[in-house]
Amino acid sequence: SQQGEEDPQALSIQEGENATMNCSYKTSINNLQWYRQNSGRGLVHLILIRSNEREKHSGRLRVTLDTSKKSSSLLITASRAADTASYFCAQIQGAQKLVFGQGTRLTINP
């Protein structure tokens, strides 16, 4: 079964705007990870946030984690055409099984 779900399923914005994607999960976590997938490629790790962290930054990426609501958000600021991709959150389920949500398909329009 899926551990997390992303919202929205698809997002289309203009270049330069900010993009926000959300992830909800069901059980307690040690950490939550965000990945990007360009069309026809494997996933690339973006950022990992631990359960005792509330916010983390990496370049134009900002991730927040609310363990009380079992949710996380990924914000991409000043979006670029190259940010067009699918974005997935992932969490450990059980011992070591990393499970992914269905993803958010982000399209940046020039």
User: C-alpha distances in angstroms, 30 versus 27, 53, 65, 91?
Assistant: 10, 10, 12, 8
For 96, the token pair is 């070591």
The yes or no reply on residue 33 touching another protein (CB under 8 A) is yes
Site for another protein contains 57 (CB under 8 A) = no
- Are 53 and 65 spatial neighbours (Cβ–Cβ below 8 Å)? yes
Part of the chain binding another protein (CB under 8 A), chosen from 18-26, 41-49, 61-69, 76-84: 41-49
Contact residue for another protein among 16, 27, 45, 55 (CB under 8 A): 45
Beta strand 10-14 with 104-109: parallel, antiparallel or unpaired?
A: parallel
When the beta carbons of 7 and 15 are compared against another protein, the nearer one is: 7
Positions that interact with another protein (CB under 8 A): 2, 30-31, 33, 35, 40-45, 48, 88, 92, 94-103, 105
